[in-house]
Structure 1
Amino acid sequence: MRDGGEEEVDQVDWIDIPAGLVRRGTPAGEMAAVARRYADTHVPEAWYRKEAPRTEIHLPAFRIARTAVTVEQYALFAADTGRPAPRGPADHPVIGIAWEDATAYCRWLGERIGGEVRLPTEDEWERAARGDDGREFPWGDEYRTGLANLVDLGVGTTTPVGSFPDGASPFGVLDMAGNADEWTSTLYAPYPGAPDDVPVTEDWAFDRHITRGGAFRHDRDLARCARRHGAYEEDLAAIGVGFRLAAPPAAA
């Protein structure tokens, strides 16, 4: 019998994402303009080109967690499976988590709550962030300091999950920009129809699974809903890599 505290940690605040279109990516013709818009971040145009082309994709319904997995939630899993205890305040997103450990957490939690739990696909993540339109950021087309925990906020570390409700996505999903970069289940590959100069693989990445959203140490370019990146450094805590959960839609 689990105690009440453990049961509370097991709870997931799911948001239902209805079936619908995601306007995935960025039109190839807009790449130069995107690079100019974020020129102060010193990100070359080539890094954005893997977002092309813009494609409308229909996704079935799914659920996604309102916030990332917290230190408190992950700590119970770590204790139960003999993994190192995570560091940080209980209500902050857990970071420094390898993709394999994130997927193991999903399996473990699914067994405890009696249902499938997984990482979101890259397309699901983008739909949950963008909603039905092609907005630049989860909250709209204009970047505003104070709607996400990114480098311009000056905090320099994580903040409690859900600290920026005004930065919510159209579906009410929180922290999809900043705080913790988030694993998806998708391995990097160019989108179908991508520009010829987009790399076929990212062999330089520490892990080639796509991450989304950016972390507290990142600039606003990584907060864009279309921005595709990965874990390019081995120190996953230093670069702020965490994860959030996804699941099939609730039974009718």
Structure 2
Amino acid sequence: MRAGAGAGVRVDQVEWIDVPAGPLRRGTPVDEIPAVARRYEDTGVPAAWYLKETPAAQIHVQAFRIARTPVTVDQWARFAAATGRPAPQGSPDHPVIGIAWEEATAYCRWLGERLGLDVRLPTEDEWERAARGDDGREFPWGDEYRTGLANLVDLGVGTTTPVGSFPEGASPFGVLDMAGNADEWTSTRYAPYPGAPAEVPETEDWAFDRHITRGGAFRHDRDLARCARRHGAYEADLSAIGVGFRPAATAR
């Protein structure tokens, strides 16, 4: 990890990554779920949770743009000052966390007005394509998990790190922090994938918010770093569970 690697992120602009239109091998085949559950059995995650990733499908995702890193405390502070919201807590170059979905959406609208762009939260499919690229890799950097490529619980930090601190953990398109640090909102409300097994729940009534989050945060195990892993905000304390976000935009 490079200390302070995110210090150059500016509050008045976004470093966009252009993700071209292309294929996404979304999700996980049903017959691979037992092997996935065994691979991560030490995390205590039951196989039923992974079934939400099924069935696998080859889909086409239109071109879009996505921020290279999550929104920082410094970037959120600019928004807060302009809109009369409370100032955020935390180090300026760390990802802002504890942000409700509605607030993240409001930030995207505000940023879009400033930049003259259609800024929004990424869809779940866009997020997975940005993390996974054209192939079916398990993690943004490849198929093998390695401690030190993302800020997850095994790193032992116990809190956020500056955005962009793990350049070797970049996705195929060069997007950073798509595993760990802050769990990220998408614009997609939870629903089973088309053709999902009958035991996959139709809704997640137990969730604090039913929008899908992706990537996992500093407090999560490596299973949440998987590109296919569908998650959510299951606790009301969004700071404690590390929920943040990054903006996306229509391709130009």
Q: Name the TM-score, length of structure 1 as normaliser.
A: 0.96
Task: Determine if the alignment matches structure 1 residue 148 to structure 2 residue 147.
Answer: no
Structure 1 letter corresponding to 2:91: P
Structural RMSD (CA): 0.6
What is the distance in 2 between the residues matched to 1:150 and 1:175? 11
Task: Determine if the alignment matches structure 1 residue 206 to structure 2 residue 208.
Answer: yes
Task: Determine if the alignment matches structure 1 residue 89 to structure 2 residue 91.
Answer: yes
Runs of 4+ in 1 over 3 A off after TM superposition: none
Work out which of the residue numbers 117, 120, 123 in structure 2 matches 1:118: 120
Structure 1 segment 55-66 matched on structure 2, within 5 A: 55-66=57-68
Work out which of the residue numbers 134, 159, 173 in structure 1 matches 2:161: 159
Provide the residue aligned with 2:176 in structure 1: 174
Provide the residue aligned with 1:192 in structure 2: 194
Cα displacement (A) at 1:125: 0.2
Cα displacement (A) at 1:85: 1.1
What is the distance in 1 between the residues matched to 2:58 and 2:52? 16
1:194-246 Cα deviation digits (max 9, x unpaired): 01100000000000000000000000000000000100000000000000010
Cα displacement (A) at 1:42: 0.3
Secondary structure of the 1:185 match is strand
8 Å contact 1:63–1:249 — kept in the other structure?
yes
Work out which of the residue numbers 1, 11, 14 in structure 1 matches 2:13: 11
Secondary structure of the 1:157 match is coil
Cα displacement (A) at 1:138: 0.2
Task: Determine if the alignment matches structure 1 residue 29 to structure 2 residue 31.
Answer: yes
Secondary structure of the 2:113 match is helix
Provide the residue aligned with 1:69 in structure 2: 71
What is the distance in 2 between the residues matched to 1:165 and 1:69? 17
Unaligned runs of 5+ in 2: 1-9
1:39-59 Cα deviation digits (max 9, x unpaired): 000000000000000000101
Task: Determine if the alignment matches structure 1 residue 222 to structure 2 residue 224.
Answer: yes
Secondary structure of the 1:9 match is coil
8 Å contact 1:22–1:131 — kept in the other structure?
yes
Cα displacement (A) at 1:100: 0.2
What is the distance in 1 between the residues matched to 2:73 and 2:115? 19
Structure 2 letter corresponding to 1:146: G
1:97-120 Cα deviation digits (max 9, x unpaired): 000000000000111111110000
Cα displacement (A) at 1:10: 2.1
Report how many aligned residue pairs link the two structures: 243
Provide the residue aligned with 2:5 in structure 1: none
Secondary structure of the 1:169 match is coil
Provide the residue aligned with 1:78 in structure 2: 80
What is the distance in 2 between the residues matched to 1:192 and 1:166? 34
8 Å contact 1:10–1:113 — kept in the other structure?
no
What is the distance in 1 between the residues matched to 2:35 and 2:117? 44
Q: Name the TM-score, length of structure 2 as normaliser.
A: 0.96
What is the distance in 1 between the residues matched to 2:116 and 2:101? 22
